Amino acid sequence: MLNTRKSRVLLTSALAAAALFFWLEKGILPGGPQKPSPRESFRVMERVIGYIKADYLEEPDPKKVMDGAFHGLISSLDVLSGYLDKPAAAVYAAAAKSPIKDIGAILFKQTNAFPLVIGVLENSPAAKAGLRVGDTLSAVDDRSTIGWSLTEAEIRLKDPVGGKVKLRVIRDNATKEIEIERAALYAKPFTVSAQKGTAGVVRIHHFYGPLAAEFRKTVPPGLTAAAGPLVLDLRDCSEGDAAEAAAFLNVFLKSDRIGYFEKKGGVKDDLGCPAAPALETQPLVVWVNQATLGPAEIAAAVLRDQKRAKIVGIATPGLTGRLELFPLDQGDALVLTTAVFCLPSGDKIWGKGVTPDVKIDLRKMETKDYLEKTPGLAPGR
């Protein structure tokens, strides 16, 4: 039997989670599925609370109950929305502004599944430690990842000051532990390399500022006429923000409305590229893969929609939601998907992704394979 004081704490925590559930059941994302009425959902939660309070075998830890309730409720909304405790919320706030120290692994996660490694950056700490695409992370620093959102799983790998992170990895039905030292991953937001038959290959590492300004300043003067298409390599590009993506797109096109974010109730927040483009007529090819996420997906989708580029690679996951951080009283926070990106036609990229014009064989995904599939290469490459 629970003692009176802890009963009150447990009941208060559970009721707080139930109240949150009541609010969430009203719906957040546009076009969501039909759900039970808030009143019905609240009654179910009340019954659950009653059973736990009266009949659970042991005395529950109120904090764990609260954390578990928040994780379960928020993480069930969509792959990005999640609950962050105080340390994770602080890291998220820092990472939202610019890249911070990381291991260089790109993850994907579904509800009630472990995070899956879908990309490993070249020469990153993760690559040097032997982490591979296809690995599953069952624990981070001895904490199970099963109840985390994708956002929380990504944040747990980062830290502004660095330090080591311990991963429990499942590979080929075997489990192993890997310890990886976090590090700064990029000196610049992009790198340019020469490639015969092209005007150059630009590897975009992220869509944080000053990507667009640096690109506009340094890349156009170095291009040569009749050299073939400029290749924008968005493979393994998974971070940044939509505003910087729009500024980057403005280098190649001008449009008052390249798309919009649709919020709850059908409210539309337009995204535009109003300035004069520096490379309006430059032929473009965009490379994508399974680890091309978020703002990079928006960039690829818009360039194709505006008939400015051909897309080469494999379909992207479609994680083009706008996230907002909602601080709570104790320093913890909710991260919620509050809008999803749509093209001017109304076509949603969220949950659908970008389908390439030219598809790459999953068994042949090296740079040479992408080059072989790239249209418009100049002769003699």
pLDDT in tens, 278-301: 999 999 999 999 999 999 999 999
Domain containing 130 equals: 100-181
Residues 341 and 195 in one domain: yes
Residues 204 and 174 in one domain: no
pLDDT mean over 14-36: 50
pLDDT at 245: 98
Task: Report the CATH number that the domain containing residue 286 is assigned in CATH.
Answer: 3.90.226.10
Q: Indicate the pLDDT class of residue 364, thresholds 50, 70 and 90.
A: confident
Contacts of 367 (CB under 8 A, 6+ apart): none
pLDDT mean over 96-105: 92
Tell me if 379 is assigned to some domain.
Answer: no
pLDDT mean over 182-186: 95
| 128-153 pLDDT, tens digit each | 999 999 999 999 999 999 989 999 99
Tell me if 91 is assigned to some domain.
Answer: no
Q: Is the pLDDT of residue 104 over 60?
A: yes
Residues 127 and 235 in one domain: no
Tell me if 314 is assigned to some domain.
Answer: yes
CA 126-240-86 angle, to 5 degrees, is 75
The domain boundary residue, chosen from 181, 206, 223: 181
Residues 173 and 208 in one domain: no
The domain boundary residue, chosen from 136, 158, 181: 181
Q: Indicate the pLDDT class of residue 349, thresholds 50, 70 and 90.
A: very high
Task: Please choose, from the candidates 229, 188, 180, 362, the residue with its C-alpha nearest in 3D space to the C-alpha of residue 289.
Answer: 362
The domain boundary residue, chosen from 181, 204, 231: 181
pLDDT at 376: 85
pLDDT at 367: 93
pLDDT at 78: 87
Residues 212 and 337 in one domain: yes
| 3-class secondary structure per residue, the chain | CCCHHHHHHHHHHHHHHHHHHHHHCCCCCCCCCCCCCHHHHHHHHHHHHHHHHHHCCCCCCHHHHHHHHHHHHHHCCCCCCEEECHHHHHHHHHHCCCCCCECCEEEECCCCCCCEEEEECCCCHHHHCCCCCCCEEEEECCEECCCCCHHHHHHHCCCCCCCEEEEEEEECCEEEEEEEECECCCCCCEEEECCCCCCEEEEECCECCCHHHHHHHHCHHHCCCCCCCEEEECCCCCCECHHHHHHHHCCCCCEEEEEEEEEHHHCEEEEEECCCCCCCCCCEEEEECCCCCCHHHHHHHHHHHCCCEEEEECCCCCCCEEEEEEECCCCCEEEEEEEEEECCCCCECCCCCCCCCEECCCCCCCHHHHHHHCCCCCCCC
Tell me if 380 is assigned to some domain.
Answer: no
- What's CA 24's distance to the chain center, in Å? 22
pLDDT mean over 10-28: 48
Hey, what's the torsion of the CAs at 133, 136, 140, 143, to 10 degrees? 170
Tell me if 273 is assigned to some domain.
Answer: yes
pLDDT at 283: 95
* Bridge partners (DSSP) listed for residue 181: 164
Q: Is the pLDDT of residue 42 over 90?
A: no
Tell whether the torsion through CA atoms of 207, 208, 210 and 213 is positive or negative. Answer: positive
pLDDT mean over 58-84: 71
Contacts of 293 (CB under 8 A, 6+ apart): 106, 237, 238, 239, 316, 317, 319
| 254-268 pLDDT, tens digit each | 999 999 999 999 999
Q: Is the pLDDT of residue 31 over 80?
A: no
pLDDT at 200: 93
- Computed over every residue of the chain, the mean pLDDT equals 86
Residues 199 and 320 in one domain: yes
Task: Report the CATH number that the domain containing residue 134 is assigned in CATH.
Answer: 2.30.42.10
Residues 281 and 361 in one domain: yes
Q: Which two tokens stand for residue 60?
A: 């529950």
Task: Tell me which of 21-30, 254-263, 341-350, 360-369 is least confident.
Answer: 21-30
Structural contact between residues 289 and 235, judged by C-beta atoms closer than 8 angstroms? yes
Residues 265 and 150 in one domain: no
The count of structural domains within the chain is: 3
Q: Is the pLDDT of residue 310 over 70?
A: yes
Residues 157 and 232 in one domain: no
Residues 218 and 258 in one domain: yes
CA pair distance 312, 233, nearest whole angstrom: 10
Residues 159 and 197 in one domain: no
- Tokens 């992220």 belong to residue: 206
Residues 326 and 273 in one domain: yes
pLDDT at 291: 97
pLDDT at 15: 46
Q: Indicate the pLDDT class of residue 19, thresholds 50, 70 and 90.
A: very low
Hey, what's the torsion of the CAs at 343, 345, 347, 348, to 10 degrees? 40
Number of CB atoms found within 10 A of residue 146's CB: 15
